[in-house]
């Protein structure tokens, strides 16, 4: 009512305007919480081997990374298989939050096998990007990667870090990065709320003329 009064419109007109803004993904409405300006939706070309934060920066977005923590843990089966380690496998887990214009965009967990993780953990990951540590301090260069994106629902912890509610739809990206010799170096698991991410790809058909 206060918003309708401020703009000098009826409640019906205001509701219609809010519905239009929601359809355009400019606002989000959460039952019991209120109406919020929507976080920016990011276009991502999944077939390009690019670092997510670097790709966003190249598009002019203000990207920041917040280190949430590092720890050693025993890898689950998926991580063990991706890194080709014998079970049980000890790995370094690096957890980071990506922010665009100070709003959470993605939650990323990077898993590194123990021999590499033992060296990486000594670096100041709050100031130095992980790929810089690998390339310039350890001499490990990522040459290719395999990525899978699936639709999931956010767990409680992921939702809390991303400023969402548990159970909201999201994309989960799993990426295995390899060095030039074909050895798996990093397994990344990234969670991105569904309203903040779009997969794009330009397609060319064989035999088509320009």
Which CATH number is 25's domain given?
A: 1.10.10.10
How far apart (Å, rounded) are the C-alpha atoms in residues 131 and 145? 13
pLDDT band at 54 (very low <50, low <70, confident <90, very high): low
- The total of structural domains in the chain comes to 2
Residue in 202, 203, 200 with CA at minimum distance from that of residue 43:
200
In a domain, residue 7? The reply is yes
Domain identity same for 113 and 29 = no
Claim to verify: residue 45 and residue 13 sit in the same structural domain: no
Higher pLDDT, 10 or 150: 150
pLDDT at 21 over 70: yes
What lies within 8 Å, CB to CB, of 169 at 6+ separation is: 151, 152, 153, 154, 193, 194
Residue 168, pLDDT > 70, answer yes
Please report whether residue 107 resides in a domain.
yes
167, pLDDT greater than 80: yes
Q: Considering the domain boundaries, does residue 206 fall inside one?
A: no
pLDDT-derived band at 153, boundaries 50, 70, 90 = very high
Q: Output the pLDDT for position 118.
A: 95
Share of the chain above pLDDT 90, in %: 51
Q: What's the whole-model pTM score?
A: 0.74
Query: In this structure, are 114 and 143 located in the same domain?
Result: yes
Distance from C-alpha of 66 to C-alpha of 96, rounded to nearest angstrom: 6
**Per-residue pLDDT tens over the stretch 89-143:** 999 999 999 988 788 889 999 999 988 999 999 999 999 999 999 999 999 999 9
What's the mean pLDDT when you consider all of the chain? 83
In which domain, by residue range, is 50 found?
Answer: 40-200
Distance, in Å, from the CA atom of 113 to the CA atom of 104, rounded to the nearest integer, reads: 27
Same domain, 62 and 143: yes
117 in any annotated domain: yes
Alpha carbons 122 and 127: distance in angstroms, whole number = 12
**Higher pLDDT, residue 39 or 196:** 196
Residue 49: the pLDDT is 45
């Amino acid at each position: 009512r206060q918003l309708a009064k401020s703009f000098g419109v009826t409640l019906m007109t205001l509701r219609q305007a809010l519905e239009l803004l929601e359809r355009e993904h400019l606002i989000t409405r959460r039952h019991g919480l209120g109406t919020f300006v929507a976080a920016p939706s990011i276009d991502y070309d999944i077939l390009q081997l690019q670092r997510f934060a670097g790709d966003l920066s190249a598009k002019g977005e203000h990207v920041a990374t917040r280190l949430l923590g590092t720890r050693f843990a025993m890898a689950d089966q998926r991580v063990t298989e991706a890194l080709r380690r014998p079970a049980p496998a000890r790995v370094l887990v690096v957890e980071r939050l990506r922010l665009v214009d100070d709003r959470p965009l993605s939650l990323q967990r990077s898993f590194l096998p123990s021999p590499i993780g033992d060296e990486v953990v000594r670096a100041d990951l709050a100031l130095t990007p992980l790929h810089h540590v690998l390339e310039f301090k350890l001499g490990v260069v990522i040459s290719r990667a395999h990525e899978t994106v699936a639709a999931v629902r956010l767990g409680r912890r992921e939702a809390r870090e991303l400023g969402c509610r548990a159970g909201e739809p999201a994309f989960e990206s799993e990426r295995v990065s390899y060095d030039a010799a074909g050895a798996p170096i990093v397994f990344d698991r990234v969670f991105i709320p569904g309203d903040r991410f779009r997969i794009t790809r330009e397609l060319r058909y064989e035999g088509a003329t320009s």
